[in-house]
């Protein structure tokens, strides 16, 4: 069985919250209020069976599992590169890591704040008049 398989791409701690399904609908009600969805409509529709929930979540977890494998490979390559580098190269590596970490944070922060790209209009084109590079 997929959930009891120790080689499954997600640990039991990921599956454990699903044991609450369908008893806890609090999150649904919170999201309904935030999205202006009628709670009665949500209550009227029965929750999907657990097997549908698990299969619907699987792609997300699987992709993160795959990305995690790639991250491990990049970390190993970074360690190998750093071990043979002199102090000037290590300083450059640290600077690049800090700068790109800030850009990564800005990327996720932009999504969290629901910002849009400042140089893109509603059709997705960069207006020339705004001095785009």
Residue ranges of the domains in the chain? 1-84, 86-133
Ranges 53-57, 66-70, 77-81, 82-86: which has the least confidence:
53-57
The pTM is what?
A: 0.47
Q: CA-to-CA distance for 103 and 98, rounded, in angstroms?
A: 9
Show the tokens assigned to 24.
């806890």
Of residues 89 and 126, more confidence is placed in: 89
pLDDT at 23: 47
Q: pLDDT per residue over 23-38, tens digit each?
A: 455 666 676 777 787 8
Q: Which residues contact 29 (CB under 8 A, 6 or more apart)?
A: 39, 42
pLDDT at 25: 58
């Amino acid at each position: 069985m997929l959930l009891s398989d120790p080689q499954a791409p997600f640990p039991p701690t990921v599956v454990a919250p699903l044991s609450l399904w369908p008893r806890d609908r609090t999150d649904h009600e919170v999201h309904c209020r935030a999205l202006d969805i009628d709670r009665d409509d949500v209550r009227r529709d029965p929750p999907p069976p657990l097997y549908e929930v698990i299969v619907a979540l699987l792609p997300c977890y699987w992709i993160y599992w795959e990305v995690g494998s790639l991250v491990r490979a990049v970390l190993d390559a970074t360690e190998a590169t750093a071990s043979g580098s002199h102090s000037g190269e290590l300083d450059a590596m640290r600077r690049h890591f800090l700068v790109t970490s800030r850009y990564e944070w800005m990327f996720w922060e932009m999504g969290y704040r629901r910002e849009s790209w400042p140089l893109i209009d509603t059709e997705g084109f960069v207006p020339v008049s705004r001095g785009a590079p």
